[in-house]
Structure 1
């Protein structure tokens, strides 16, 4: 797409947003410019292993041990991430009334950190930990302190950051890692996020559809729409003849339904969109 064509497309999107209440669906591509890797972007490195599944985590104590060992290494760098220009532009667009709400597939809390106030975290938030037995919630920062107290001298080596606060570690260094249980009942603790193979909680789905129903247009930013939890919003918008606009660095599963399609980084395009709307 040429510079002039991109500018015209951004201006067309801005004109649509002047007259239509817009809900945003965001994905991992919004946060890559904050240093958080994504799963499927064109610049994403090949993963050595598939992400842990819900069935694995619940049914395999060794898999849980490996997960928490890697997470304890990835967590400090994950929490050091800060909102980028794309997050900030969406916050300003919400404050100006052009964006009604954000439905995000991300678990990093960066939309809220940038100032967005109406955010539905479809896949949960990594800074919450929940007991699978009694339901007690624990702050992830507090649990990080327990993990490090239970494993003096950890971490054993530098590691590469992976998506969603994970890290790459050889399995052999995690075999002696100790995982504290729930402080109330001793049960298994799990980050309160949706793992692969796990269903999105009904309360979050309902909240997302409420925001969708209040809007007249869907703007997808930074998502390949590879998973159905996001793609279904595009399908419904298309079925109801609501305009769908997509901003993403690579192709998406929703491109065939897009009224407007912008190829590029959200941290570049969203600020230009905000500027055209005098935000």
Structure 2
């Protein structure tokens, strides 16, 4: 028996669609990283059900809120540091290597796509990256370990070592503007693809969740792979509601 014979019909259909496509764009959300130990903040019992998210304006205006944000960051850091790419990340990296996937657009901030081998210039991070920080005034990069040392010494969120400005993880907070360059890159990639794979996203956070419909309007086929139903399922050419890693893993055997 071949690989295709062992797969459920939706997974077989996914492999056929990827084989037939020439310009694939992958869009990922938290669901692809849960098997790696990264929490899904929105799920029951997730961080946002325990703590109210800190709004960007509160972070900017309150030293107390900045300290609380860093306290939460350091509490979650062991899980982020221990995480390694999962089966889904590795399958996507394979598709990038063989030239099948042009770009990976992600809502995730965990850096796992890059760790799996996807080149930096192929990853479009809509919500930033939590593995480092930067100054909101001068843009200087700051390493998380350096900030932790300063925070533990004083109990206060440290300022930029170069200009004294406010330092924040390189992520997009509630109330913070989306990164314009990344949004433009994501739009261009979406408009150029012939297959759009939305993986592990509830597709409720806009404007990012608008990309699947943008691809569909431009003639691309749309696949939604998520454990739970989404509001965009009726627009998809294929919906797969199964374990993400198990469904994507066979794609690692594809050749261009």
Corresponding position: 1:122 with 2:126: yes
Q: Quick check: 1:52–1:67 contact (8 Å CA) kept in 2?
A: yes
Q: TM-score, normalised by structure 1?
A: 0.82
- Measured in 2, the distance between the counterparts of 1:230 and 1:187 equals 29
3-state SS of 1:47 partner: helix
Q: Quick check: 2:32–2:88 contact (8 Å CA) kept in 1?
A: yes
Q: Quick check: 1:244–1:259 contact (8 Å CA) kept in 2?
A: yes
Q: Quick check: 1:218–1:244 contact (8 Å CA) kept in 2?
A: yes
Which residue number corresponds to residue 36 of structure 1? 38
Which residue number corresponds to residue 147 of structure 2? 143
Q: TM-score, normalised by structure 2?
A: 0.89
Which residue number corresponds to residue 261 of structure 1? 239
Report Cα offsets for 1:12-42 as digits up to 9, x if no partner. Answer: 2211212212100001111111101112347
Q: Quick check: 1:40–1:224 contact (8 Å CA) kept in 2?
A: no
For residues 177-192 of structure 1, the aligned pairs below 5 Å read 177-192=155-170
1:60 to 58, 62, 65: 62
- Measured in 2, the distance between the counterparts of 1:262 and 1:22 equals 17
Change (3 A) 1:256 1:198: farther
Q: Quick check: 1:231–1:253 contact (8 Å CA) kept in 2?
A: no
- Measured in 1, the distance between the counterparts of 2:60 and 2:180 equals 20
Q: Quick check: 2:191–2:215 contact (8 Å CA) kept in 1?
A: no
- Measured in 2, the distance between the counterparts of 1:198 and 1:253 equals 25
- Measured in 2, the distance between the counterparts of 1:45 and 1:180 equals 24
Which residue number corresponds to residue 16 of structure 2? 15
3-state SS of 1:101 partner: strand
- Measured in 1, the distance between the counterparts of 2:139 and 2:191 equals 31
Corresponding position: 1:210 with 2:188: yes
- Measured in 1, the distance between the counterparts of 2:140 and 2:123 equals 23
1:272 to 215, 229, 250: 250
The gaps in structure 2 that reach 5 residues or longer are none
Which residue number corresponds to residue 131 of structure 1? 135
Q: Which has the higher contact order (CA 8 A, sep 6+)?
A: 1
1:91 to 80, 90, 93: 93
3-state SS of 2:240 partner: strand
3-state SS of 1:138 partner: strand
- Measured in 2, the distance between the counterparts of 1:43 and 1:245 equals 28
Which residue number corresponds to residue 112 of structure 2? 110
Change (3 A) 1:239 1:93: same
| Deviation, structure 1 residue 6 | 6.8
- Measured in 2, the distance between the counterparts of 1:191 and 1:45 equals 17
Change (3 A) 1:45 1:139: closer
Q: Aligned residues, how many?
A: 249
